[in-house]
Amino acid sequence: MKKIVFSVVSFFIFFSLFAFSLTLTDVKIKLVATIAHSLVKKKVVCVDLMDKEFLNRQKGKIDHIVFVNSCQKADIIITDNIKQIKKSCISKLIFVTNYNTYIHTPFAVGALFWQKGRPVLIFNKKTIKAKHIRLPKQFYQFVE
C-alpha cells in the first residue's frame, strides 16, 4: 500500500514539475503546506522554514501559510538540523526534512525527506499522541 501511495505522490510531483513548470523546491513547499495544515488546525498557519534548501525561497504567503523568520512566531518549525532551533522553541511543533535528524530527534512530529528519488513521509506516533494531534485519515498509514 505504501508503494502505491509513494508512486502516486511521485507521479504527482513529476507531473507537477513538467506540466506546471514548478521547481522541486516549489513542490516540496506545497507538500509542507499540506502537512502544516494537517498538524495545525488554523486557517492561516505560521511556518518557520529553517531548512537550508528553503532559505533562498522568497518569504510570503502561499496556500494560507505565512512564512516567518522567528520560531517564537511560528506554529510549526520545518528544519533539517535540530541544532538550529533555539531552546525556547523546542516545545513548538517540529517537522524535519532529514532522516538522520528525525531518528535523533524523538520530539519531532514527523519527517518528509527524499530517499532513492522518492518522497518519504513519517509521523512519530508518540509525539503525535503527546501533543494531542489528530491527523487526517489519509496520513494514518505514515504513522510509526
pLDDT > 90? residue 72: yes
Average pLDDT of the residues in 11-37: 66
**Assigned architecture for domain 2-142:** 3-Layer(aba) Sandwich (3.40)
Segment 94-109 shows an average pLDDT of 93
pLDDT of residue 68: 86
Residues ≥6 apart with Cβ < 8 Å to 106: 124, 126, 127
77 sits in which H/E element:
strand 76-79
Phi, psi of 78 (to 5 degrees): -110, 120
Least confident of 36-45, 63-72, 82-91, 120-129: 63-72
The side-by-side arrangement of strands in the sheet containing 65-68 is 61-62, 65-68, 45-49, 76-79, 93-96, 110-115, 118-123
Amino acid at 31: L
List the domain boundaries for the chain.
Answer: 2-142
| Closest CA relative to residue 119, chosen from 34, 60, 58 | 34
> Model-level pTM?
0.77
For the stretch 103-116, pLDDT in tens is: 999 999 999 988 88
Residue 78 CB neighbours (<10 A): 23
